Structure 1
């Protein structure tokens, strides 16, 4: 059942269902817009599962974190050796019975965006679809008519032949598309093609194309904004995509929000000044958090905030930072690390480094640094009885009826003397009868040394400026997101 952790639809999708919200009626005119992110477990979500206990909610998040980490490692390896990975996928596109069962078990972790594609003479003027949101991939794609094989979906496969704004991309007319590996013949024309594979053998392929995408607003006036000539994949063959036992599948494809040139973020580009920001609400106290993902000129800090800025380390897929040390109880820990694990830098083979990621719920740290980070906290809580009924975290402790010690905080020390504090409510997961140190061990030696998950980013505003290649942050009460 370990393969259940690697399933694509569980794996590295960003943690919210989204609607596109354009502020102030300006849309592209003022170079900004907002995406309202709604967690699938929120009562606002059409996927609302009903009331969940804290244990159920955190267990679901933990399984998502495992799968997300595996998919990101796999995607990084695939990017490093794309041709080898493509050949491997072409000869290994089957999925075992245990994987299908696990897909049913864990398929609750996908998130959706409502978008319109194309230009038609129907009442809407476009074809409406639900697409999944993926922070780690770099392509937008949907199933198209004439696909074979396909997975079942509620809406008709995209009728690209009758869209007034659909155009194929001829071979050689798009960066990164050239013969023979990235071209193919569809409907008598040699065009650019795509081939996307995922860790458990899911595959989609077909021609690359351009079309008009209409982004839906949740504002009362139901404003929409259109993006013309958006590059996307017209999926003509989808294999091994399985869904949980639902009467009607509404998923039609993927929106990639990674750093590659075909992702939504990169294609919006200078139209939104290559910048975006978020302010994540905390998970504790049973909340199901929401936030705004803000693009463009509105992706700024408020007056009076103390802002810290860090350079991003160049990477084709993800956001890496220069971490220098970690301290707990005022003591820096790096001096206690063994020599072979004394650096947080990215290694020559691409492993290691400090990754900041909103797609992973929890923070993970590679061994043996993981043990050295947890040891001071385990010693601090040594008078508590271990709670061994939670399989998701390494250290959990039973609460004492007579009262408990205050939870500690942690500080991450970055380059240029910049410190980032993780508060007690983010460092410790406080449940009804017990509490856990909310750090996961990362056992894959090819993974980042530390992945800063979204729970540690709560109550901070982050602004990513891809033109300046920086990320800035400041403390903020994110319960009032979007304000």
Structure 2
């Protein structure tokens, strides 16, 4: 099925370069190749699994994302004498996140090596960049050696109480500037460690590499309740999220004003994330404000309504908590009341073609674990679009990003949850640029999200 092939290939997310050509900010933007989890080259590669298993992994990933980002995430003060339950620690990962290699530290005279390469998860829902360090106890399993910070020539410790410590409201880790984060509950996954200064090395858009010196980096020494699949190659996180101390924000540290990506429907096309680069301009480019929201690490948008095949659902006033956009969440999540009304909208659309949703009695066993599924009638191809009506811009989502289609089913990629969130599937085949030079700060805007349709599998 073409739709199933397109849907599964979307797991490659963040594919294809988003090359922007005007108003370049600095001579060398950071360009990171991102590897999707179902690629044989990915540290998350699950092996040869079925299409249904892939869909279920994405659903499980959405559930995990909601749990960790919205229900239980919190920060607490680290106390060097705390018991195990109070220690900060590690994020739980599923097979739906995207990773890039980053060089960390300086270890001359290794030929051509400006840093030890580590796979870091690209996370727009976290503002802290960290790696697991040598001497950790307890540690999560890692195939390569933990980062040997003491042997790096660019390592700079930050003493406890130093005015440059970016986390002054947290207690120190031993005698150093400390950090800690809890994710989840019962029991919480957590990491704890020291904030250090280090050199990070990235590929350059103009070839070669570009090193950034004396960046703040979390050095994780204690982790609890991890769920990495072994053998694990993931060393930490590259945080591109909002919130937290501004001095820790990655874009601020490298002196960039924007980052951008393009989500592809070509499974085997490597994607690229640009940090810095050009301002996104053009006749098809739309813009909507980036806002603060209830979860400080995420980016929010002013979602005003949702349309199905150009029919507005009249949801004005239903998004008082805002709507987040997150490339780390696979599929759409809607507040329960909004979900119920959107569900009715899809049922009404398919009813005109005499297609009724499966109920508990008629539902086949071999369906994805999604709530709203319809029989797939022979020859049916009149799938609707779904439009997110933001302030000043409409994001038109095409059918391959909305439906999982199999031999005997058409399932809608929707979930009910604690927030409205635009997932990675709904960002397919668009260029997106998070631009922090734009936005009216007096109105609470932190920047602007610019986007336009793009065949992300083709060279830009």
Aligned to 2:133: 144
Aligned to 1:345: 320
Aligned to 1:68: 65
Aligned to 1:437: 412
Check if 1:91 corresponds to 2:80.
no
C-alpha distance in 1, partners of 2:381/2:400?
13
Q: Which moved more, 1:323-332 or 1:262-271?
A: 262-271
Higher helix share: 1
C-alpha distance in 2, partners of 1:182/1:197?
15
Check if 1:173 corresponds to 2:163.
yes
Residue pairs, 1:308-347, within 5 angstroms: 308-315=286-293, 316-334=296-314, 342-346=317-321
SS at match of 1:227: strand
Contact 2:13 2:263 in 1 (8 A): no
Contact 1:276 1:296 in 2 (8 A): yes
Contact 1:118 1:126 in 2 (8 A): yes
How far did 1:321 drift?
Answer: 0.9
How far did 1:115 drift?
Answer: 2.3
Q: Which ranges of structure 1 fall in alignment gaps of 5 or more residues?
A: 1-13, 96-102, 347-352
C-alpha distance in 2, partners of 1:146/1:84?
18
Aligned to 1:5: none
Q: 1:184 to 1:457 in 2, by over 3 A?
A: closer
How far did 1:108 drift?
Answer: 3.6
Aligned to 2:426: 456
C-alpha distance in 2, partners of 1:255/1:89?
28
Contact 2:118 2:235 in 1 (8 A): yes
C-alpha distance in 2, partners of 1:415/1:292?
28
C-alpha distance in 2, partners of 1:17/1:306?
20
For the aligned residues, what is the CA RMSD? 3.7
Check if 1:193 corresponds to 2:178.
yes
Higher RCO structure (Cα 8 Å, ≥6 apart): 2
C-alpha distance in 1, partners of 2:424/2:30?
22
Aligned to 1:211: 198
Aligned to 1:115: 102
C-alpha distance in 2, partners of 1:436/1:166?
51
Check if 1:225 corresponds to 2:210.
yes
Aligned to 1:393: 370
SS at match of 1:478: coil
Check if 1:361 corresponds to 2:325.
no
How far did 1:282 drift?
Answer: 3.0
Check if 1:244 corresponds to 2:229.
yes
SS at match of 1:326: strand
Contact 1:273 1:467 in 2 (8 A): no
Count of aligned pairs between the two proteins: 423
Q: 1:184 to 1:331 in 2, by over 3 A?
A: closer
C-alpha distance in 1, partners of 2:389/2:123?
29
How far did 1:273 drift?
Answer: 3.3
Aligned to 2:6: none
Check if 1:131 corresponds to 2:120.
yes
- Cα displacement string for residues 449-476 of structure 1 (whole angstroms, at most 9, x for unaligned residues): x211111111111111112211111111
Contact 2:87 2:180 in 1 (8 A): no
Contact 1:89 1:203 in 2 (8 A): no
Q: Which moved more, 1:137-146 or 1:381-390?
A: 381-390
Q: Which residue, out of 430, 450, 459, partners 1:472?
A: 450
Using the size of structure 1 for normalisation, the TM-score is 0.76
Q: Which ranges of structure 2 fall in alignment gaps of 5 or more residues?
A: 1-10, 439-446
Contact 2:201 2:209 in 1 (8 A): yes
- Cα displacement string for residues 283-306 of structure 1 (whole angstroms, at most 9, x for unaligned residues): 7xxx466432122233524x5x41
Q: Which residue, out of 272, 278, 291, partners 1:298?
A: 278
How far did 1:232 drift?
Answer: 1.0
How far did 1:154 drift?
Answer: 2.8
